[in-house]
Structure 1
């Protein structure tokens, strides 16, 4: 069964909107883990609009107290400044680094790597992260033609960008898009790569997605989970997503 890694970005964004420490990020991290999440994800941006450098330090210590729980830090490895990705992960030493090609001013990630253009500059990044003990995942569109390059770079997993599935869900395009993701998972598996999924997955579109795919390793979910928690409560929302990741 796919493991759930709870993305805490939206909790941090809400907290930062007032500057009084509410909601408390560590508290909600502990709630997610108590509810059964297998890991925590953060995607700090250079402007620290939500997750801050101090948050990464705090969560690193919190995860160290939780044997078997994984910490996943996402981001663009070519950022600079106080929240630059590579120095941050060098200090935190997360279990997994997910490399994402987002620009500094993007609201959210909206595409995967083009390895035909980016492989050469990513190669030393992947080698450095693996030397620090991290599993490396590359954020990718469902484009199996690129996955051999993922393997050549030495990355361990792909994280499939799943907004196209969310957009197609409930439309006539749903079967064709699902088939594209199925082909992508199969192609990654045939190369010995692990497969993560993430972006715009929710309680409505996730069960059909999981049912239509070969097994995947992990789903990173934050925005929809946080929104559902407004209605369900945070712990019940985490548990609902864990159930949604179970094959029918």
Structure 2
């Protein structure tokens, strides 16, 4: 079964736009859990544009022993102000999974994966630290990545395929231009012994086609589309619809 992890960053964006504590990340997480999600994802950034370190800590206490907790982030981004750095934040809260992503402050959202051949040497010590903290480690990779030996060598356990190009192709009626690369990347990762996650711009419209092409898909992390759809249909109902697609 493919696990649905709901990314709550957009809830935090809405809250931060006004200040205060509404809408509540805790209530949103509880609603998603009650509706059947298997995990919660957050992506704290040094600029605190959405989820903040105090949110990460609060959710850790709320989720522990209930559903998986996935924290995404750039392990090379230094501590700044209230942001202690990804590894230090993970050391505090001990999530189920850490997904390492090569993003920067200038990016509106994550838009590319690691070059494993180039980045593995730098990532290795960080992967080792995170695994020693009891976390599963996943690396964000581009569709078309084919050599996963570097990821296996440094101890990564999963990869997350960046599905932005697939979603864009699907919306334009060109799914055959992007889906085969995702499927081949998943196949090669699994052959190397890595489990496969996926995320970015997946939606109710395109998720079923993607899942059908990726046997053994372990997890999808969905935030932007899911929260947008929930504005019309409600958060609980939207989570249930995603679960139906994955089931």
Separation in structure 2 between the aligned mates of residue 114 and residue 50 of structure 1, nearest angstrom: 27
Larger mean Cα displacement after TM superposition, 163-172 or 1-10: 163-172
Change (3 A) 1:177 1:78: same
TM-score, normalised by the number of residues in structure 2: 0.95
Secondary structure class of the residue paired with 2:88: helix
1:238 equivalent to 2:236? Answer no
Separation in structure 1 between the aligned mates of residue 93 and residue 171 of structure 2, nearest angstrom: 40
**1:137 aligned residue:** 138
Separation in structure 2 between the aligned mates of residue 117 and residue 13 of structure 1, nearest angstrom: 33
Separation in structure 2 between the aligned mates of residue 144 and residue 199 of structure 1, nearest angstrom: 16
**1:125 aligned residue:** 126
Contact 1:79 1:104 in 2 (8 A): no
TM-score, normalised by the number of residues in structure 1: 0.95
Secondary structure class of the residue paired with 2:76: coil
Q: Deviation per CA, 1:71-122: give whole Å up to 9, x if none.
A: 0000000112232211111101111000000012211000000122211110
1:71 pairs, out of 69, 72, 77, with 69
Q: Deviation per CA, 1:116-169: give whole Å up to 9, x if none.
A: 221111010000000000000000002332322111111000000001110111
**1:44 aligned residue:** 44
Separation in structure 2 between the aligned mates of residue 74 and residue 20 of structure 1, nearest angstrom: 24
**1:195 aligned residue:** 196
Secondary structure class of the residue paired with 1:220: strand
Matches within 5 A, 1:16-95: 16-64=16-64, 66-67=65-66, 69-80=67-78, 81=80, 82-83=82-83, 84-95=85-96
**Structure 2: tracts of 5 or more residues without a match:** none
Secondary structure class of the residue paired with 1:10: helix
Separation in structure 2 between the aligned mates of residue 210 and residue 129 of structure 1, nearest angstrom: 29
Following TM superposition, by how much is the alpha carbon of 1:171 offset from its aligned partner in structure 2, in angstroms? Answer: 4.3
Runs of 4+ in 1 over 2 A off after TM superposition: 143-146, 170-173
Alpha carbon RMSD of aligned pairs, Å?
Answer: 1.2
Larger mean Cα displacement after TM superposition, 193-202 or 146-155: 146-155
